[in-house]
Amino acid sequence: MTRIKKSRKAPSSAPQQAPRTPKSERVSSTKKRDTGNKSGSRQNPGKDKQGSSGQKANKDPRHGSKKPIALQLAPQAKTEPKVAKPKQPKLSDEQLLLQLEEDPRLNQLLDRLEEGRVLGAEDQRWLDEQLATIEALMDKLGISDFDEADVDYDDDDEEALLKKFESGADVLKQYQDKD
């Protein structure tokens, strides 16, 4: 008797299997378990689990220095780093007024004005600013800058007449000292 080879084809009356779906359309019923490091994790150390969780990943010392290198043929002259000025304590109004009045530049410019010299535009502007600052400080402190000789006294008051006489004596002394 001759041998008949079994066929792999199912007979037409047998139950048929569902057609195969492509891999991209398949839905996996179980989640794939993550074990070990992902591929390329040694070359990309910043993209591992530690970096994505907000922690800073340890730097790899094998990559060398990150300091920029100047690509110039001849080095330029080195400039010294700027030194920050130490902050001075805030002065009170009286101290600031005294400091402004004792300024040598201010005194020199006022002397030049008294001699009748003409100041340059920049010096005149600086002098006006300083005098305005001094005046504002004096107003703030309540210091008056007027002479008592300019005040009109009542003729009825004896003390007022005495003060007026004494202030006239001072003016006379100043006039005599000029000669």
Say yes or no: 154 and 132 in one domain.
no
Say yes or no: 162 and 140 in one domain.
no
Mark residue 28 as left, alpha or beta (left: phi above 0; alpha: psi -120 to 50; beta: remaining): beta
The tens digit of pLDDT for each residue in 99-116 reads: 888 888 888 988 888 888
What is the pLDDT, as a whole number, of residue 88?
A: 73
Say yes or no: 110 and 129 in one domain.
yes
| pTM more than 0.75 | no
Is residue 137 a part of any domain in this protein? yes
Say yes or no: 103 and 115 in one domain.
yes
Say yes or no: 140 and 151 in one domain.
no
Is residue 163 a part of any domain in this protein? yes
Is residue 40 a part of any domain in this protein? no
- Tell me the two tokens of residue 32: 């794939």
Identity (one letter) of the amino acid at 8?
A: R
Q: Would the pLDDT of 54 be above 50?
A: no
Percent of the chain with pLDDT over 70: 78
Domain membership of residue 132 as a residue range: 92-145
Is residue 78 a part of any domain in this protein? no
